[in-house]
Amino acid sequence: MVKMKSSFLAHGKVILIGEHSVVYGYDALAMPITALHIKTTVEETDGPVYMNTAHYHGPLFDAPANYDGLKYVVKTMMDKASSTDNVKITYTGEIPMERGFGSSATVALGTVKAMDNYYKLNLSNSEIMDITNHAEMINHGKASGLDAATVSSDYLVFFNKEIGPQKLQAKLGATLLIMDTGELGNTKEAVTMVRHQLDESVEANKKIERLGKLADNFKAAWIKQDKKTAGKIFNDAEEILASFGLATDKIDQLKTIALANGALGFKFSGGGLGGIVIAICDNREIAQQIADKSKDLISNYWIEEV
Ligand SMILES: C[C@@](O)(CCO)CC(=O)[O-]
């Protein structure tokens, strides 16, 4: 019997604060970006299991190692369905890859959900999250679960590895300017860089603990709608993240422009080594002005009221 084609639309995320320290059990805050999404479509094929993305077309199990997380997802779902029929999986839509927008978690989640529906498996939410998180572990070496939790939520996520995601209903009353440096980040490399420093230095461990505390202070400022303090905490977090060697020249240049043009605070978001940066601004006009002044350094930008 021919199975019905199945699709799932999953959105991206940005981490507001707590990247890296979240991997070691500290708190973090992240939000979904519904403007950026990827649609995963699963359908029957006579050939080998096939993958169709903007970057790769071909048999999935011949794809390069950076698709290993997806290979695991597809194999796991086919095993769960006891299926020997092959599928063709197509990804459409756009979330810039390796920028901190959670594209790897988005495609992993989309694939689990679309295949769950395709095979009528009715997996529980925790099974779906476990498979998505395991794919993230394969992709990043060590993953907190924050990305997977945020791409599967339609609300602001307060997250801790032990407790999982909690909904934060508050608003800061500020404008976020999210800018894409156009530089590819590399989460796996960034997470490894931090881990090596933690293995070797007490000072590095203290810095990670401070980052974790900043996330809690940021949450408190957010709830109080204290955007000035939130901005200052952003700057403090950026300083610590940069001290691990995770910022780039371009990130530093964007920080100078943002702070000289009225941003309340600035930090990169996600693993670092490139990717996206966020400026907290008092209002849209300031955000637009910073984006205009940064235009020669960025490939794109988004303005979000939070
Ligand atoms: C760097 C990191 O904290 C965020 C990557 O988007 C890694 C993780 O939480 O798994």
Residue 1 has pLDDT above 80, yes or no: no
**Atom of ligand 1 lying closest to residue 13 CA:** 6
In the sheet with 265-269, reading across from the earlier edge strand, the strands are 265-269, 276-281, 175-180, 300-305
- DSSP 3-state assignment of 38? strand
Residue nearest to atom 6 of ligand 1 (CA): 270
Give pLDDT tens digits for 191-214: 999 999 999 999 999 999 999 999
pLDDT above 70 covers a percentage of the chain that reads: 99
How, if at all, do strands 87-93 and 50-52 pair? Answer: parallel
Q: What is the pLDDT of residue 281?
A: 98
Residue 236 CA, ligand 1 centroid: distance in Å: 18
- DSSP 3-state assignment of 195? helix
Q: Which domains does the chain have, with CATH numbers?
A: 5-168 (3.30.230.10), 175-305 (3.30.70.890)
Residue 5 CA, ligand 1 centroid: distance in Å: 33
**Atom of ligand 1 lying closest to residue 102 CA:** 6
Q: What is the pLDDT of residue 142?
A: 84
Q: What is the mean pLDDT of residues 43-72?
A: 94
Please tell me the distance from the alpha carbon of residue 149 to that of residue 125, in angstroms, as a whole number. Answer: 11
Contact status, residue 254 vs residue 298, Cβ threshold 8 Å = yes
Q: What is the pLDDT of residue 164?
A: 93
Pick the range with the lowest mean pLDDT from 16-20, 98-102, 253-257: 98-102
Token code pair at residue 60: 């999935």
Residue 1 CA, ligand 1 centroid: distance in Å: 42
DSSP state of 152: T
Please give the single-letter amino acid code of residue 301.
Y
Write the ipTM: 0.97
Ligand 1, residues 13, 15, 101, 195: which to mutate, most atoms within 8 A of Cβ?
15
**Atom of ligand 1 lying closest to residue 146 CA:** 9
Of the candidates 46, 125, 120, 41, the one whose C-alpha atom is nearest the C-alpha of residue 77 is: 120
| Average pLDDT of the chain, as a whole number | 96
Q: What is the pTM of this model?
A: 0.94
CB-based pocket (< 6 A), ligand 1: 15, 19-20, 22-23, 100, 140, 143-144, 146-147, 187, 191, 270-271
Residue 85 pLDDT grade (very low, low, confident, very high; cuts 50, 70, 90): confident
Q: What is the pLDDT of residue 94?
A: 84
